Amino acid sequence: MRAPSSRLSLSIAIALAIMAAIFIADTSTDYAVAAAGFYTVVILAVAHRLSARQLVLLASACIGLTILSFALTGFGSYRVGLINSAIGIVTIVVTTYLALKMEAARATAQEAQAQLLRVARASTLGELTASIAHEVNQPLAAIVTSGNACQRWLAQAPPNVDKAQQAVERMLGDAQRASEVIVRIRGMTRGQSLQPQAFAINPAIEEILSLSRAELERHQVDIALDLADDLPPVFADRVQVQQVLGNLVLNAVEAMSGLPDGPRTLGLATARGAAGHVLVSVSDTGGGLPSAAADQIFEAFWTTKADGLGLGLSISRSIIEANGGRIQARNQAEGGALFQFELPVVPGASA
């Protein structure tokens, strides 16, 4: 893959070559058209790759070539050439101004989107706080228990070194579990860029269930797992995919928490999807999706929650699509909602 600076240099080289061709055509022909207007195509083509200063320099070069072409042209009417050159220069100036405004607006939109992503991530993490505390406290409590046992084994006469060593090994394993929980949460909060890697989807789902265990127990939600065996590894950003899974799980729990009675079952399933993809399904036995919401649930700021931001599903769709997949939702015939998304497998991976 080319480095960004190499791609920029190639873009500039191509732009200069096209500008040279336009200059030669404008200078060597006697057509009564403002040929310099074609420079605007070059400006628009490379505007997103150049800084504002570089774009202004490029536009200045185009204007300079237009004036030089007019000075060197010995054909046709002087008045026609002057008018066409003036039209070309005005077109270049206006196009450059609009391109600068467009790029500034795009940068502002990207910054706003990044801020919304951070807000939504913080909201999701806030909802997961109880589960996170539960998952961190579990290994910490186990470490304390193993430490007390280790002291008892060593206090015996003679000390039971084998049992004490087993207790220490359990302590190390539980400490590693606690560390992994913290690492996963830090990865979610950093807002790091896309980092695709090969990983097995089933263990990733089990980790999210482990994080959400306390929330599931608090709302008395049963889990129905149907994870296919021998799936090929997927190729995506593991942390971002787990963020999507966590959001879908929490949405399902909230959808079922308002039910006065009846079964509360969270279903998670994996299977082979379309060619080169793995299919992940998250279902619930809640009230289902609003009948008129099929085309709106993935839109930003659309929500049925009184205190919701309406960003979770929109960001989930952006994440899945950025990782080369797609996501969809529908109501189930037996009741409840079903969310499904596909992720690409590692190229050339076999079962």
In this prediction, residue 185 carries a pLDDT of 59
CA distance 340 to 277: 12
Location of structure tokens 């971002």: 240
In this prediction, residue 227 carries a pLDDT of 92
Strands laid side by side in the 337-344 sheet: 222-227, 265-272, 277-283, 337-344, 326-331
The C-alpha angle 267, 268, 273, rounded to 5 degrees, equals 130
Tally of CB atoms within 10 A around 298: 19
**H/E element, 330:** strand 326-331
Three-state DSSP at 200 gives coil
pTM above 0.95, yes or no: no
In this prediction, residue 135 carries a pLDDT of 54
Please list the rounded mean pLDDT of every run of 10 residues in the chain (351 residues): 58 80 75 68 81 86 84 66 80 87 82 66 56 61 81 87 85 75 60 77 88 76 90 89 86 81 87 89 85 64 50 78 88 87 82 47
User: Of the CATH numbers 1.10.287, 1.10.3860, 1.10.600, 2.60.40, which one belongs to the domain with range 128-190?
Assistant: 1.10.287
In this prediction, residue 308 carries a pLDDT of 47
Domain map of the chain by residue range?
A: 4-121, 128-190, 197-344
In this prediction, residue 295 carries a pLDDT of 62
Domain 128-190 and domain 197-344, same fold? Reply is no
Q: Phi and psi for 260 in degrees, rounded to 5?
A: -70, -35
In this prediction, residue 309 carries a pLDDT of 44
Three-state DSSP at 199 gives strand
Peptide bond into 158 cis (omega under 30): yes
Q: Does domain 197-344 have CATH number 3.20.20.105?
A: no
Contact (CB, 8 A) for 342 and 282? no
In this prediction, residue 43 carries a pLDDT of 83
In this prediction, residue 192 carries a pLDDT of 56
In this prediction, residue 75 carries a pLDDT of 52
